[in-house]
Chains A and B, each alone.
Chain A
Amino acid sequence: MNTITLFFLVSFMSVGQNKKINGNLSLLQILFRHGERSPTETYNNDPYKNYDWPGGLGFLTNRGKMQMYTLGQQLRERYSDYLPEYYLPEEVLTYSSYSDRCLISAELLLAGLYPPVGQQIWNPDLLWQPIPVHYNPRNLDNIIAMKQPCKKYKEAFNEISAVRLNESIKKYPDIYRYLTEHTGSEIKTIGDIEFLYSTLEIEDLNNLTLPNWTKRYYPEPMKTLTAESLALYSYTPLLKRLSGGVFLKNVTDNMLQKVENNTTNKLILFSGHDLTVVNVMRSLGLDELLKPEFAATIIFELHKEREVKVLYKKNVNDDFNEMSIPGCQSSCELSNLVKVLDPVLPKNWNEECIKNVIV
């Protein structure tokens, strides 16, 4: 197993980046992972432990900033017939995870999507305009960061993590000992491997030569284990229901509201993490292992005939690819989608976090 095989990507219908979407849309909801960042942490023996990342640890790199800005421009191009050039606060809602890199990713995407034109040019020397980005504190966010404490979720996660950890030990008997020894940090769970992989990947992307010992497990199988680590958070139907399901509940509720009482919203943006993308993908029934790249994007289009289209864009160089949702393959109608997703849509998240719910 050399690479993560994204079989479902093969089934994508390429829609093409330049093709414009005309006025048939009635609501657009977009979830994206932030742009390229510097490492959030290092390991004890990291030769780049004291590397001076511009902007500090965990912040967007300049390339990451450009990715988000470009994504905004690509969305402007694709949806120019649907989204007015003027930014109107009653049409656009932007939610972000609490973390700085997500907040500024949202600002950058909006800068690319809504460069001021005409009367909205408030400063001729600066073709940018301020647009508000809202967010919930980390411990109150069960939609994007998905970090709001939830007892049942944590229990189910711990259970499956232990099982999958043993599987990984069977498969790679030496990996934990080897990585612990060479990093000087304790690497004893799949999650530890994920964080280590993220750090190595970013250093690699920024042309920092990785130590020789990494070659044995990097990039593979560490990359696959990283995808596995991300998958743990929505491994079972219950885990889906209490994580990505909350997001999908929000998204489908927004669509139902739009259909019912025609709210003024045209665009709702969600600025999140790789984990958000994976939780949402898996909750949609797209269970293949996935390690989302920077600026990976999931788009939910609601069309006037209540048809829902879900698209995925791996990175800024990728096209907008339509995905087929299991159980709602061709011309997926909103009510059908809600029916298909029903098992993963929580009725009362707070309650389900405490009580046993049969899924």
Chain B
Amino acid sequence: MSRLCKIVTLSLFIVFSTTLVKCETDFNATGVSELVGVIVIFRHGDRTPVQPYPNDPYKNESLWPVGFGQLTSVGKRRQLRLGQWLRSRYDGFLPDKYSEKDIYVRSTDVDRTLMSAEANLAGLYPPSGDQVWDQGLQWQPIPVHTIPEKEDYVLSGKKPCVKYNRLLRDLLKSPDFVNINRKNHDLYAYLTRYSGSLVNSLETLESLYNTLFIETIFNFTLPNWTVPVYPKKMRPFAELSFATLSFTEDLARLKTGPLITEMVNHFKERISYLERPEENNNEIKNTSVSSNGHFEKIEQPEVKSRKFWIYSAHDITIANVLQSLKLFQYHCPPYASTILIELRSLKSEYFVNIFYKNSTVPQQMKLKDCEFNCPFDKFLKIVEPLVIDAQTWQNECNTEDYDFEPLTIVVLIGLICFIFLSLFALKVCVGSLTDKKEHTKGYPYWRLANEEV
């Protein structure tokens, strides 16, 4: 009975979703507006927990099909299907045959995202015609570009930025967030006690939540202590944690601004290419023999004709982009969730459409102060506060530490001395302090456990 129910729902869903996709292609075919550029940002496919918690009954890596933080077979299939879905949505716009002149794929430098990109491309570009290089294998290699994490300020946002870190600390010390942490004190203490790992922030809570979530997907029975807190009590805070990294415009500009800027530049270049194709047509063919040997030889000339860009990244990337565009509804972005940003043209006007696909059907996302078919100029105005070029980013991130006046330094030194003295004083009575802590430890958890959840 329930199986029948599932099948009916599923087929209804498929019919519904295909009609929707059809509608969009029809919209395209009638000549109302023409698709001219697409940016795709997705989260990797299913993975194992990045890090189990100390008291985790499933912390033994051998219980898992692949190592911690790695992409699973389910994840590979999910990405392959997403690639196939992209093919069906953009077929006709994106040629069947792979060419570096159409598409550029960039991933964060992490195994699961690099592998997700490859699996996705296997679905998007099954070899055809003269690109079939092996009769027995329906796959062709496609370059996936990356950059080491410590250098990557665009996609992974892992390149260190002192100013950003300071701004984030300030945010987390602001009354609203302090209040959240205060209200969660009992929950944090409960989670810390039972998980064995320190939970004292939204971030650490989310990390534990995520591990528990994956264990339920793997049908692992969660320990009893999770019953009162997982998922219901933890979820809203895990979801909120995704909003924090780009919570304010200042944070968003430094964390997500470089990616937004790159996307805006892709579209700008696309438009100028479409408007002046003759200038860009003979870009590669004219590269003649260079005389500077291997040093100055640019082996990969800049390609200006691209119209499709894929970014393979993480849940926080999805959340950051949505939050920066003020489109984020608090949630944990699921595996292979995808943001589509489409550039359309109509009578030499350009429009931006944004979709978010976190299940089967992509939802239209309407920017604040702009209609769904957002004119490109208006779109530029909306994202303007986020746009930041590489040099500015680097300067702002670097200068933070040296931004002190002499007086401030004197005050700082005084402060440091004071802290040292206080620490020393504290150390004297540290024994009695810890004793007290031990005594009060048990009480709040009881209360929490008895609460209605």
**Residues of chain B having any CB pair with chain A under 8 Å:** 65-67, 70-71, 73, 76-77, 80, 98-101, 109-111, 114-119, 122, 130-134, 136-148, 151, 284-285, 287-295, 297, 299-300
Contacts and interface: CB of A to CB of B under 8 A. Distances in A.
A125 B284 contact: no
A192 interface: yes
Given A134-B109, A191-B294, A111 B143 contact: no
B143 A192 contact: no
B77 A56 contact: no
A42 B288 contact: yes
Q: Most chain-A Cβ atoms within 10 A of its Cβ — which of B65, B131, B290, B294?
A: B294
B77 A123 contact: yes
Q: How large is the interface on A (under 10, 10 to 19, 20 to 34, 35 or more residues)?
A: 35 or more
B111 A107 contact: no
Contact of B148 (A55, A136, A185): A136
A120 B141 CA distance: 19
Contacts of A183: 289
B198 to A, nearest CB: 27
Contacts of B139: 111, 126, 128
Contacts of B290: 41, 191-192, 195
A187 B98 CA distance: 34
Interface in A40-81: 40-44, 49-50, 54-60, 62, 65-66, 69
A349 interface: no
Nearest to A154: B295
Contacts of A229: 293
A56 B100 contact: yes
A131 B294 contact: no
Contacts of A188: 291
Contact of A108 (B65, B131, B141): B141
Given A56-B284, A69-B134, A133 B114 contact: yes
27 contacts: A40-B299, A42-B287, A49-B285, A50-B285, A55-B99, A55-B131, A57-B284, A58-B299, A58-B300, A65-B140, A89-B70, A99-B299, A100-B143, A103-B141, A104-B143, A119-B73, A122-B73, A122-B76, A123-B76, A123-B80, A130-B122, A131-B118, A132-B115, A133-B144, A135-B146, A140-B151, A189-B291
Q: Most chain-A Cβ atoms within 10 A of its Cβ — which of B65, B117, B297?
A: B297
A129 interface: yes
A167 to B, nearest CB: 16
A126 B138 CA distance: 6
A214 to B, nearest CB: 14
A260 interface: no
A305 B100 CA distance: 47
A14 to B, nearest CB: 29
Contacts of B98: 55
A62 B287 CA distance: 23
B39 to A, nearest CB: 20
A312 interface: no
Contacts of A41: 287-290
Nearest to B287: A41
A119 B66 CA distance: 10
Contacts of A107: 118, 141-142
Which 8 residue pairs spanning A and B have beta carbons closest together? Answer: A130-B118, A191-B293, A104-B141, A122-B73, A132-B114, A130-B115, A107-B141, A62-B133
A137 interface: yes
Interface of A: 40-44, 49-50, 54-60, 62, 65-66, 69, 88-90, 98-100, 103-105, 107-108, 111, 119-120, 122-123, 125-137, 140, 147, 154, 157, 161, 183, 185-189, 191-192, 194-196, 199, 229, 232-233, 275
Contacts of A140: 148, 151
Contacts of B143: 100, 103-104
Contact of A134 (B66, B77, B133, B146): B146
A213 B9 CA distance: 72
Contacts of A59: 100
Contacts of A128: 122, 137, 139
A185 B142 contact: no
B365 to A, nearest CB: 29
Given A62-B130, A137-B151, A191 B73 contact: no
A195 B292 CA distance: 11
A119 B114 contact: no
A244 B364 CA distance: 53
B288 A44 contact: yes
B289 A111 contact: no
A161 B293 contact: yes
B445 to A, nearest CB: 38
Q: Most chain-A Cβ atoms within 10 A of its Cβ — which of B73, B99, B117, B288?
A: B288
B142 A104 contact: yes
Given A119-B73, A120-B73, A122-B77, 16 more contacts: A42-B287, A54-B130, A55-B99, A55-B131, A57-B287, A59-B100, A62-B133, A65-B140, A107-B142, A130-B115, A131-B115, A132-B118, A133-B114, A191-B292, A191-B294, A195-B297
Contacts of B114: 130, 132-134
Contact of B289 (A50, A98, A100, A192): A192
A89 B111 CA distance: 8
Contact of B99 (A56, A99, A123): A56
Given A43-B289, A99-B299, A132 B294 contact: no
B300 to A, nearest CB: 6
B389 to A, nearest CB: 18
A192 to B, nearest CB: 5
